[in-house]
Amino acid sequence: MTSSASAQPPSPPAPATDAGALGERVGVAVGWGGGTVIKPPFSPAASPVIDAAMVRALELARAAGAAGEVPVGAVVLSLEGAVLAEAANAREAEHDPTAHAEIRALRAAGAALGDSHLDGCTLVVTLEPCTMCAGAIVLARVARLVLGAWEPRTGACGSVRDVVRDARANHQVEVRAGLRAQESQDLLTASFADRR
């Protein structure tokens, strides 16, 4: 049996050669699905509301880590910048493999709005979402994603995959990365060091 060339998965496009492309996780990058650019790193001074949401997400992540969870926290902001929902990882506590911070926060925000579409909302999360969470972000029609640290093994928002900006989908999400990235990374590193 021979395989045709069309049966092979397409090769991902190479990242742009811009200084700071995905190698440093800032600058311009093209995702697997031909996504759009990753904007420059988000600084705390750029938006005090979004920075405050990341500070809260880090607090939630710390609490999750202390409870034996992977330390990830998420906050959903309305178009006006009001906090709609917040959550931390709870996979172990809820015995639920889908109880990631992002999924839990999106569910709570949908309940608060009475709608499954979170048009105009911003999701602020301490770690780049996985494929499951990225799919939920697209389905929820979140306008923008602000993340702290990149996830180089399972990330699906620009590092390993780019589900949220796949041009083949019916919705793409603006991605801003690097807000309090070192704090997010340090929290994860400490948590996994404690488990060893």
What is the set of active-site residues? 102
DSSP string across 5-45: GGGSPPPPPPPP-STTSTTTT-S----TT---PPPSPPPGG
108, exposed or middle or buried, with CB in 10 Å at 0-12, 13-18, 19+? middle
Q: What dihedral angle (degrees, nearest 10) is formed by the CA atoms of 93, 96, 100, 103?
A: -120
97 Rama sector, left if φ>0, alpha if ψ -120 to 50, beta otherwise: alpha
